Amino acid sequence: MLAFAAVGEENGDLERLYRSALELGLDCVVEVRNDAELRRALERVDPEIFLLSGIGDDGGPLAQALNLLQDVPAGKLAVAEVEAAGPAEVAELERAGMDGVIVPAGNVAELAGGAEPRV
């Protein structure tokens, strides 16, 4: 996973790291936190998988992920990172077309209807 905020400078790091991951046969996810990062990532490396992160966003992580999802081109995978997602939030993301959701381990039991996983 490449965090655009960490490697998105115009110095070529994003392109070099993304290309290296692909050459190793890895699927490379690019994390974006806002519309500008999403647009720039598409222009520079056109990733197949996005991690839509709303952590620290004033509108809340769910709203930010849904907002970013609208700008992910068809055919790309979109995964939301939502800190405190419950069943209702996960269902809303699924209905909106999100391909996956990353939640804290403590939320898994509630979402799966069973005991918290042992890690």
Helix, strand or coil, per DSSP, at residue 119: coil
Q: What pLDDT score does 103 carry?
A: 77
In a domain, 80, yes or no: yes
Give residues with Cβ within 8 angstroms of 15, minimum separation 6: 44, 45
Decide if 58 is inside a domain: yes
Q: What is the pLDDT of residue 90?
A: 87
Number of domains in the chain: 1
CATH number at residue 86: 3.20.20.70
- Residue 58's pLDDT is 63
Is 108 contained in some domain?
yes
Kindly state whether residue 119 falls inside one of the protein's structural domains. no
Question: Could you read off the pLDDT of 45-93 as tens digits, one per residue?
Answer: 999 999 998 765 567 888 899 999 999 999 999 999 887 678 888 889 9
Note whether residue 42 is domain-resident.
yes
Residue 102: closest CA among 35, 58, 55 = 55
Q: Is residue 118 part of a domain?
A: no
Q: Which structural domain, as residue segments, surrounds residue 80?
A: 2-112
